[in-house]
Amino acid sequence: MSKPVVALVGRPNVGKSTLFNRIAQKRIAIVEDTPGVTRDRIYSTAEWLDHQFHIIDTGGIEIEAEDEILMQIKHQAELAIDEADVIIFVVDGKTGVTEADKEVANLLYRAKKPIVLAVNKIDNIKMQEEIYEFYSLGFGEPYPVSGVHMIGLGDLLDAVVSHFPPQEEEPKDEDVIRVALIGRPNVGKSSLVNAILGEERVIVSNVAGTTRDAIDTPFSTQNQDYILVDTAGMRKRGKVYETTEKYSVLRALKAIDDADVVLVVLDGHAGVIEQDKRIAGYAHEAGKASIFVVNKWDIVEKDDKTMTQFVKKIRDEFQFMAYAPIVFVSAKTKQRVQKILPIVDEVAEAHSMRVATSVLNDVIADAVVMTPPPSDKGKRLKVKYVTQVAVKPPTFVVFVNDKELMHFSYERYLENKLREAFGFEGTPIRLIVREKE
Ligand code: GDP
Ligand code: GDP
Half-sphere exposure of 125 (CA within 13 A, CB side): 0
Asked whether residue 192 falls in the same domain as residue 321, the answer is yes
Residue 410 sits in a domain whose CATH number is 3.30.300.20
47 CA to middle of ligand 1, Å?
A: 22
Residue to mutate, 181, 182, 186, ligand 2, most ligand atoms under 8 Å from C-beta: 186
Residue with the smallest CA separation from ligand 2 atom 15 is 188
Helices 16-23 and 153-162 cross at an angle (nearest 10°) of 80
- Ligand 2 atom closest to the Cα of residue 330 is 23
Examine residue 168 and state whether it is found in any structural domain, yes or no: no
Query: How far is it, in rounded angstroms, from Cα 10 to Cα 2?
Result: 25
What is the pLDDT at residue 36?
Answer: 37
Asked whether residue 261 falls in the same domain as residue 113, the answer is no
Asked whether residue 204 falls in the same domain as residue 307, the answer is yes
The structural domain count of the chain equals: 3
Task: Note whether 46 and 25 are within 8 A (CB).
Answer: yes
Burial of residue 381 (CB within 10 Å: 0-12, 13-18, 19+) is buried
Examine residue 324 and state whether it is found in any structural domain, yes or no: yes
Which ligand has an atom closest to residue 190 CA? 2
Which ligand has an atom closest to residue 333 CA? 2
Asked whether residue 30 falls in the same domain as residue 145, the answer is yes
What is the pLDDT at residue 175?
Answer: 86
Contacts of residue 67, Cβ cutoff 8 Å, sequence gap at least 6: none
194 CA to middle of ligand 2, Å?
A: 11
What is the pLDDT at residue 234?
Answer: 37
Which ligand has an atom closest to residue 23 CA? 1
Examine residue 137 and state whether it is found in any structural domain, yes or no: yes
Identity of the residue numbered 272: V
Examine residue 171 and state whether it is found in any structural domain, yes or no: no
Asked whether residue 365 falls in the same domain as residue 347, the answer is no
Which ligand has an atom closest to residue 192 CA? 2
Q: List the binding residues for GTP.
A: 10-17, 57-61, 120-123, 183-190, 230-234, 295-298
Examine residue 152 and state whether it is found in any structural domain, yes or no: yes
What is the pLDDT at residue 173?
Answer: 66
Residue with the smallest CA separation from ligand 1 atom 25 is 121
Asked whether residue 338 falls in the same domain as residue 205, the answer is yes
Question: By residue range, what is the domain housing residue 44?
Answer: 5-163
Q: Which sign does the torsion angle of CA 291, 292, 293, 297 carry?
A: negative
Examine residue 169 and state whether it is found in any structural domain, yes or no: no
Contacts of residue 36, Cβ cutoff 8 Å, sequence gap at least 6: 274
Q: Which residues on neighbouring strands pair with residue 45, listed in sequence order?
A: 54
Asked whether residue 92 falls in the same domain as residue 223, the answer is no
Radius of gyration of the chain (CA): 24
Residue with the smallest CA separation from ligand 1 atom 9 is 15
Examine residue 170 and state whether it is found in any structural domain, yes or no: no
Give residues (CB < 6 A) around ligand 1.
Answer: 10, 12-18, 59, 120-121, 123, 146-148
Tens of pLDDT along the chain (437 residues)?
678 999 999 998 999 989 998 998 765 443 444 433 333 567 788 899 989 898 888 887 665 555 577 777 877 788 788 889 999 999 999 999 999 999 899 989 988 899 999 999 999 988 888 899 999 999 999 999 999 999 999 999 999 999 998 876 666 667 899 999 988 778 898 889 889 988 877 777 655 444 444 467 889 999 899 998 865 543 344 555 555 556 667 777 878 888 999 999 999 999 888 878 888 988 998 899 999 999 999 999 999 999 999 999 999 999 989 999 999 999 999 999 999 999 999 999 999 999 999 999 999 999 999 999 888 888 889 999 999 999 999 999 999 999 999 988 999 999 999 999 999 999 999 999 999 87
Q: 86 φ, ψ to 5°?
A: -140, 140
What is the pLDDT at residue 252?
Answer: 79
What is the pLDDT at residue 313?
Answer: 95
Asked whether residue 139 falls in the same domain as residue 215, the answer is no
Q: Which strands form 86-92's sheet, in the order they lie side by side?
A: 43-48, 51-57, 5-9, 86-92, 115-120, 143-144
Examine residue 231 and state whether it is found in any structural domain, yes or no: yes
Q: List the binding residues.
A: 10-17, 57-61, 120-123, 183-190, 230-234, 295-298
- Ligand 2 atom closest to the Cα of residue 329 is 23
Residue 102 sits in a domain whose CATH number is 3.40.50.300
pTM confidence score: 0.77
Closest C-alpha among 56, 63, 125, 59 to residue 86: 56
Residue with the smallest CA separation from ligand 2 atom 25 is 296
Asked whether residue 194 falls in the same domain as residue 315, the answer is yes
Residue to mutate, 187, 191, 273, ligand 2, most ligand atoms under 8 Å from C-beta: 191
Choose one of 130, 163, 196: the last residue of a domain: 163
Choose one of 163, 197, 226: the last residue of a domain: 163
What is the pLDDT at residue 67?
Answer: 57
Asked whether residue 206 falls in the same domain as residue 159, the answer is no
Asked whether residue 56 falls in the same domain as residue 32, the answer is yes
Asked whether residue 339 falls in the same domain as residue 369, the answer is no
Q: Is the CB of 185 under 6 A from ligand 2?
A: yes
